[in-house]
Amino acid sequence: MSPSKTTPATSDQTRPLEVGTRHWRVVDIVVAAVLGVACGLIFWIWNSIGYAWYSAMGALLPGLGGIAAGIWYLGGTLGAQVIRKPGAAIFVELVAAIVSALIGNAWGIETLTSGLFQGIGAEIIFLIFRYRAWSLPVTLLAGAFAGFGAWANELFIGSTPNIAKSFGYNAVYLVSNLVSGAVLAGLLAWLLTKALARTGVLSRFASGREA
């Protein structure tokens, strides 16, 4: 048989996909799910600690409570940083919200809407950079936009939408959410990804090979 008619070799489906590809592998789905569950447990723990801080800050200045909310946005930024595939921010944040709601919290089904908006906020930034930029500044921006997503959700959705509150309240709440998202979701996700990468557990991911 001539070389021109040789049957092409079948690609090795067990190999990790090349860096930059946007196709999800089984390992991506599994790790994203694990991250979602882990973040959901973090959210559940933070429900008490964070809400106490939220209430204390809100007592100092109406709207300032948003400064404590950033931990609840961590799933989106961490998921995107580790997986580095389209949809990872939304997937992990939404799974985390589902886990938090199933375990039990004060917000019930509204937690899922919050998770969706927060995940979309982070996802938008990584999309703008075409899933090619994973630097600290980009991750800080993604965390801030997760905070914007949370602010937008609470502005219109829920039993007491914030649109009914004063302009001053909503302005302070927006700024505090942006700052909290950048630090507690953006910076923390970036640091956690670097720490995980150094252990070698992310060796099958671009995030692990760049550590």
DSSP letters of 160-171? S-GGGS-HHHHH
* pLDDT of 170: 97
* pLDDT of 66: 95
This prediction has a pTM of: 0.86
Measure the CA–CA gap between 144 and 74, rounded to whole angstroms: 11
* pLDDT of 121: 97
* pLDDT of 157: 87
* pLDDT of 211: 60
Alpha helices in the chain (DSSP H): 26-60, 74-83, 88-103, 110-128, 136-156, 167-180, 188-199, 206-209
Q: How many CB atoms lie within 10 A of CB 195?
A: 10
Which residues, 6 or more positions from 113, have their beta carbon under 8 angstroms from its beta carbon? Answer: 153, 157
* pLDDT of 18: 46
* pLDDT of 210: 74
Per-residue pLDDT tens digits for 41-98 = 999 999 889 889 999 999 999 999 999 999 999 999 999 999 999 999 999 999 999 9
* pLDDT of 31: 96
* pLDDT of 48: 86
* pLDDT of 5: 43
Task: For the domain made up of 25-206, give the CATH fold.
Answer: Arp2/3 complex 21 kDa subunit ARPC3 (1.10.1760)
| Positions in the chain short of pLDDT 70 | 1-20, 211
* pLDDT of 111: 84
* pLDDT of 105: 74
- What phi-psi label fits residue 184: left (phi over 0), alpha (psi between -120 and 50 degrees) or beta? alpha
* pLDDT of 158: 73
